[in-house]
Structure 1
Amino acid sequence: MPRAEAPPKGSLDRALEVFEILTVRGSATTAELVEAVGASRSAVYRLVERLQAAEYLALADGRWRLGPAAARMAMAAVQHMDVFAAAPPLLRDLAARTGETVNLGVLSGGEIVFVFRELGRHAVQVRSELGARRPLHATAVGKAYLSGLSPERRDALIAGSALERFTEATVTDPDRLREELAAARRRGWTEERGEFDAGTTCFGAPVFEQSGQVAAAVSVAGPTARVAGEAFGPLVAEAAGIVSRRLGHVRPEG
């Protein structure tokens, strides 16, 4: 049976080849790209001009290099892949040490979305589904995320939130919330007792990427009747700190 011929290369295929070439070589002339891609000089030149206009390529001294848009895309991909690679082993260990449910959440649309969950050893657990959304102001994981932000970014998110009341314990006053976040920032972890779900106590801490920006937040949650005191606060802060260091973050002195 004759082998099917490969479909002809389109602009997307050629663009991907250009990215691969420049990733490996660092830079290349138009002539080198023409030879490597196997297309006409005019086709390659039209392609690189379009990529340059979109800042995916940059031309300097007659050689093409990856541009700022490509760098931004790569940084975003590495940031999320690094968090997902670095966090799970430490979060599983945290769940084993505390016996309670541990979650990893990221910011999406002004809320926290759970992207990782590890259950503890107890028969009765605080269960949260992957993809579940939680408010920033009424959860330990949300407050942890807020506590790691710059004042400007934090205040913008608070101003954009309705600060909905979920239980009698929910903090709905912006000034009181800021005071809680300032205290949490000083000690390294947040605490929430029945503010989102009555009968549940949670502790959280932010995870920082290399640049110092907040990448995610970690929380440990259990029934209030079983989670007494503040022993889990330092544990979740320790786990989040190790994840942050694995992402290249260096905590500033003082």
Structure 2
Amino acid sequence: MSESEAPGTGRTPGGGSSGERAAGALDRGLAILTHVAGNRGVSTPEIAQALGLTRSTAYRLVDRLEEQGWLTHAPAAGQWQLGPTAVRLASAAVASTNLRDTAAPALRKLAELTQETVSLGVPNGLTMVFVHRERGTRPAVVTAELGASRPLHSSSLGRAYLAALPQQKLEDTLIELVRDPMSPVSAATVSEVHAEVERTRERGWSQDLRDFDESSCCCGAAVYDHTGMPVACISVAGVAERMAPLVPTYGPVVAQVCRELSSSLGYLPPGS
């Protein structure tokens, strides 16, 4: 079968040395994982178009990533999401710092208090990745698996992280958001993100009122380590109609939990 006639598997021989092919395939594979991580379900043709790949190359690489567990089928037909191998890698990154184990009791306590879904996310490029979750007793709309990601600009996890960054790091990150071809943030709209970050700083906690998902509302805050940098964020999410009026109540609670967790990681607030 020729390269142009490679539906499904797209397995084709390539030119050049084996080292060049391996390096090129690795770069393209990483680009695919980054793209899938930043999008909620994406098809192989969409991956090819977004990354400038031929369809045969995209199908070949996606098939390989699926075989190794980096990608798995999303609920929507023909779409992909990060797979169990990616989830294990994200979890290992957190486990290596014992952050998840340290945070787990606080997350369980918060879930018991609010009866809503409580999540722990860590930064990964221009997204936040779910690495731990405690479900409350109330019906939830948060169905994303561990390892799934949320954008910095429109999620409570991401906004909490942005607001916790030192000012120069924040400005640099916003520039990256504008420059990223996969980001909806543009030079014309970045001021809106900046304004929301400032509101988050003033409140002391972040909120997402149907911004990322029409069916849910959530609030969040950042966790700092001993260096004074944000290393994770915690969010409380629930069905929009129920959660929206509770966000102003739960926001300060999440912030207090994050302050206590930060203290256990050795963080000292400025002026302490």
Same fold (TM over 0.5): yes
Aligned to 2:269: 251
Rounded to whole Å, the distance in 1 between the matches of 2:270 and 2:205 is 17
Residues 141-160 of structure 1 mapped to structure 2, 5 A cutoff: 141-160=157-176
Offset of residue 179 of structure 1: 1.8
Aligned to 2:38: none
Rounded to whole Å, the distance in 2 between the matches of 1:78 and 1:100 is 23
Equivalent of 1:238 in 243, 246, 256: 256
Equivalent of 2:102 in 63, 86, 89: 86
Q: TM-score, normalised by structure 1?
A: 0.63
Residues 169-208 of structure 1 mapped to structure 2, 5 A cutoff: 173-208=189-224
8 Å CA contact 1:82–1:247 kept in 2: the answer is no
Equivalent of 2:127 in 98, 111, 125: 111
Aligned to 1:52: none
Residues 5-44 of structure 1 mapped to structure 2, 5 A cutoff: none
Equivalent of 2:229 in 200, 213, 216: 213
Rounded to whole Å, the distance in 2 between the matches of 1:84 and 1:124 is 22
Bigger shift: residues 156-165 or 243-252? 156-165
The gaps in structure 2 that reach 5 residues or longer are: 1-92
Aligned to 1:27: none
Rounded to whole Å, the distance in 2 between the matches of 1:125 and 1:161 is 27
Instruction: From the two aligned structures, give the one with the greater helix fraction.
Output: 2
Aligned to 1:223: 239
Offset of residue 79 of structure 1: 9.1
Shift in CA distance, 80/187, structure 1 to aligned 2, threshold 3 Å: farther
Superposed structure 1 runs of 4+ greater than 3 Å apart? 77-80
Aligned to 2:184: 164
Offset of residue 123 of structure 1: 3.2
CA RMSD of aligned residues (A): 2.1
Percent identity, aligned pairs only? 36
The gaps in structure 1 that reach 5 residues or longer are: 1-76, 166-171
Rounded to whole Å, the distance in 2 between the matches of 1:78 and 1:224 is 29
Aligned to 1:31: none
Question: What amino acid is the match of 1:215?
Answer: V
Question: What amino acid is the match of 2:157?
Answer: V
Offset of residue 183 of structure 1: 2.2
Shift in CA distance, 126/211, structure 1 to aligned 2, threshold 3 Å: same
8 Å CA contact 2:223–2:230 kept in 1: the answer is yes
Offset of residue 80 of structure 1: 4.9
Offset of residue 82 of structure 1: 3.4
Q: For residues 70-94 of structure 1, give each alpha carbon's deviation from its aligned partner in whole angstroms, at most 9, with x where no partner exists.
A: xxxxxxx899523222111001110
Rounded to whole Å, the distance in 2 between the matches of 1:100 and 1:78 is 23
